[in-house]
Amino acid sequence: MHALGPDAIMIRDENALADDEAAKEAKASGGGNVIGSRVMTEGGTDLGKIVDVIIEAGRKPAVAGYEVESAAQGRRHILLPVIKPVAISGEMVLVPDATGEFTAGDLAGFPEAAHGLRTRLEQET
């Protein structure tokens, strides 16, 4: 990925794209669509349904969190950092119990929520 904008992702050239076989392998190894999946804590708390993915850009782009529609908060959308998912499937993302305590209402507050969750998880280990 060369650049990320509100409506597009720019790549340097076609060599950055995976062919069909590489995409199949990535999906088989755990990659894939999580939109519509539920986010649950290890303790069984339903944090909501994933409606979008937050990507941390850089040399190695990575999933930093999810935008979740939270039934517990009146179907309000919250941003949920995901530092250490326990398990991911096409239907559910299982996260540590502390994850639900660190949410943000917008991208401006997301780094603070992610830092708080990272600190809590480090203290628990």
Closest CA to 31 of 69, 85, 97: 85
Three-class SS state of 105: coil
Note whether residue 5 is domain-resident. Answer: no
Indicate the number of domains in the chain. Answer: 1
Arithmetic mean of pLDDT, 75-89: 85
Integer-rounded Cα Rg, in Å, for the chain is 15
0.85 surpassed by pTM = no
d(CA 71, CA 47): 8
CATH number, domain of 117, equals 2.30.30.240
Structural domain span for residue 53: 33-124
Beta pairing partners, 55: 63
pLDDT on residue 27:
44
Distance between terminal CA atoms of the chain? 34
- Residue 26 — very low, low, confident or very high, per pLDDT cuts 50/70/90? very low
pLDDT on residue 23:
43
Say if residue 59's pLDDT is above 70.
Answer: yes
Higher confidence at residue 32 or residue 119?
119
